[in-house]
Chain A
Amino acid sequence: MDRGGLKGSAMSDEKMQRLEALKALYPRLENCVVVTIMGAVAAELQSIGHRPNFFYLQHAMGLASSVGLGIALARPELRVVVLDGDGSVLMNLGGLTTFGRYRPRNLVHVVFDNESLLSVGGFPTATSTGSDLAAIAAAAGVPSSLQVSSLAELESAFAAALDGEKMTTIVAKVAAEGPKQFVTGLGLLENRFEFARYLKGLAK
């Protein structure tokens, strides 16, 4: 499934691979509190390397952004990154208005938009027929919102968002491909308890 990384601007129709995008972001994710949605994002991030600061919300679709918001509001000293998907965001569009309202500076929202619900068989979502999540986020009041389609653009946007003072949503257009397996060796509850213990251990 993985065709290897495509670096630089997409000159052809070939879209960025989500796995390569996660690898590019990974060094910076090491120092953040990360919440992912279920499916390919969770499995691929784990395949790169699970860490106790990563929490994979493997259901409750739509709520990864809300979980991230809860952490960001509870612990303003921590950097929170939500790794979201188009299907999930579409299930909680109202949550973008809540992001717009509270706009925590310590939160970066990355939406991997593969225009489909991949793990259930590739059902095309509305972003495949013109719905523009970056524009929706901006209109919802998210202070900084942009769409990227190359690894270079993503890396640059992510660095700027982490270092900047504005809550940011980055919609990364990626190919509709994913891992062979979605169930991983890391138990849901094992992850949940380890993550909570990790957050407790961080100095306030």
Chain B
Amino acid sequence: MAVSIDSSRVIYEALKKAGVRIVSALPETWLVHLIRMAEEDSDMTLVRLAKEEEGVGISMGAYLAGVRSAMLMQNHGFLASVNGIVSGAQLYRIPLLMLISYRGELGERDPWQTEGGGVTEDVLDALRIVYRRLDDPAEVHHRLDQAMTLAYSSLRPVALLLGRDLMWEES
């Protein structure tokens, strides 16, 4: 059992293809390979955060400065970012691309993740954020490209929920 390197690679390549040059991240288990890939890539700026909400500000600044960025976090990090998303990105109609590892739902073994799993989609719905759950590596490129397109045309946040079947290899 391990975090899927193959899926991480597919996601990372999709990010680069979408023109992302800055990635802000607060690590959690499922994101370790993605973060490492960003760190090893001299064409990518990785910003490791103390708190996920900072990533909203960084993405806002990058967007205003003409650079594409993405936020990597788990769903609890998304919850920690809500005020920044609402009174920063949404108030100012600034796109965000949020890659959110979807902890706390079917298959979750860690009890401390389970409350967050239960409210993730409800909070996204409450904020009227369009999201798509990704479970199959074959759809990653297409959906990430579509997410970026929508974020930029709507000037709003868009979320991709990285599901257990995508990120975790049960073997």
Contacts and interface: CB of A to CB of B under 8 A. Distances in A.
Chain A contact residues, majority secondary structure:
helix
Contacts of B65: 70-71, 74-75, 78, 199
Interface of B: 21-22, 45, 47-51, 53-67, 69, 83-84, 87-89, 91-94
B87 A60 contact: yes
B60 A101 contact: no
A58 B91 CA distance: 9
A134 B23 CA distance: 28
A120 to B, nearest CB: 14
Given A63-B54, A199-B66, A101 B61 contact: no
Interface of A: 35, 55, 57-75, 78, 92, 94-95, 97-98, 101-102, 188-189, 192, 195-196, 199-200
A65 B92 contact: no
Contacts of B50: 94-95, 97-98
24 contacts: A35-B61, A59-B91, A60-B56, A60-B83, A67-B58, A67-B60, A68-B61, A69-B57, A69-B61, A70-B22, A71-B64, A71-B65, A73-B47, A74-B61, A75-B67, A92-B51, A94-B49, A94-B51, A95-B50, A95-B54, A97-B50, A98-B47, A98-B49, A196-B66
A63 B53 contact: yes
A73 B58 contact: yes
A192 B65 CA distance: 11
Nearest to A68: B61
Contact of B60 (A63, A94, A188): A63
Contacts of B84: 60, 62-63
